[in-house]
């Protein structure tokens, strides 16, 4: 419905092989906003993404989630993900066009009708439309990262999940990535949910932040408020361990 959040989670608990991974999560993620999920390794971030994608093999699930008001029972075509490793998306034997249009084939849409959208998206992200006949090994890792986003956009998702998009990047590239994601969200209005370990990136890119610790939400709110005035001791510890003095907060 019109006023429903993009993602609504109610009392979600997930166990895998008897191990409790997520514990009674309840959260509402706004439409057309950027939300970061932060936390140490093992906090449950990846399990939450897998659940949203419908990858639930081996999971014992209690609770529920809703996507724009509809209960998430089977995988939703409104959701796409960009994984940390862009090489996962590109068959080394295929040219770029075939890889980028693969999601369209999987949804049984006509690729010829969507090819103009593909070329437009390539130009929008400063990628040469004439490069669609090249192979993946002719591109840099940064270019493939942007191309993996273009690929995800081909199905026109309403929610885009991003897994560690700045892992291992230096500060200059990090700032470029923040600007790129803001441009992406402005030109393709949608809901972005981003997993990250990088608190500086989270503060600069997001409207809201969820802090996970050992499968529980220990902090949730506007990024500026959570990072400037954390209420939980674990969040305070995470912030203290990192120098965030140079952070450029997302405006608006």
pLDDT (tens digit, 9 = 90+) per residue, 128-148?
A: 888 889 999 998 887 888 888
pLDDT at 78: 94
Phi-psi region of 168 (alpha: psi -120 to 50; beta: other; left: phi over 0): left
Q: Is the pLDDT of residue 245 over 60?
A: no
pLDDT at 91: 92
pLDDT at 142: 77
Whether the Cβ atoms of residue 203 and residue 230 lie closer than 8 Å to each other: no
pLDDT at 249: 58
Structural domains in the chain, sorted by start: 7-240 (3.40.50.300)
Question: What's the rounded Cα separation, in Å, for the pair 3 and 6?
Answer: 9
pLDDT at 115: 84
pLDDT (tens digit, 9 = 90+) per residue, 149-192?
A: 889 988 889 999 999 988 766 667 778 888 888 988 888 899 99
Question: What's the rounded Cα separation, in Å, for the pair 130 and 139?
Answer: 13
Which of 13-22, 92-101, 144-153 shows the lowest mean pLDDT across its residues? 144-153
pLDDT at 244: 57
Question: What's the rounded Cα separation, in Å, for the pair 37 and 44?
Answer: 10
């Amino acid at each position: 419905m019109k006023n429903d959040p993009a993602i609504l989670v109610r009392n979600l608990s997930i166990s895998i092989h008897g191990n409790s991974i997520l514990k009674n999560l309840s959260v509402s993620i706004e439409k057309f906003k950027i939300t970061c999920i932060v936390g140490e390794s093992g906090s449950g971030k990846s399990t939450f993404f897998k659940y949203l994608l419908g990858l639930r093999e081996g999971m014992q699930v209690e609770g529920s989630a809703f996507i724009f008001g509809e209960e998430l029972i089977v995988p939703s075509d409104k959701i796409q993900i960009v994984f940390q490793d862009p090489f996962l998306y590109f068959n080394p034997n295929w040219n770029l066009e075939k890889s980028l249009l693969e999601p369209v084939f999987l949804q049984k849409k006509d690729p010829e009708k969507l090819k103009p959208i593909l070329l437009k998206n390539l130009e929008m992200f400063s990628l040469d439309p004439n490069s669609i006949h090249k192979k993946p090994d002719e591109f840099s890792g940064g270019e493939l990262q942007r191309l993996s986003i273009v690929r995800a956009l081909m199905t026109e998702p309403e929610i885009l999940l991003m897994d560690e998009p700045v892992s291992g990047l230096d500060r200059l590239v990090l700032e470029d990535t923040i600007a790129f994601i803001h441009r992406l969200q402005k030109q393709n209005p949608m809901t972005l949910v981003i997993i990250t370990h990088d608190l500086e990136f989270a503060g600069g890119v997001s409207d809201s932040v969820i802090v996970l610790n050992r499968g529980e939400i220990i902090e949730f709110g506007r990024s500026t408020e959570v990072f400037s005035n954390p209420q939980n001791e674990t969040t305070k510890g995470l912030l203290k361990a990192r120098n965030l003095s140079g952070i450029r907060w997302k405006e608006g």
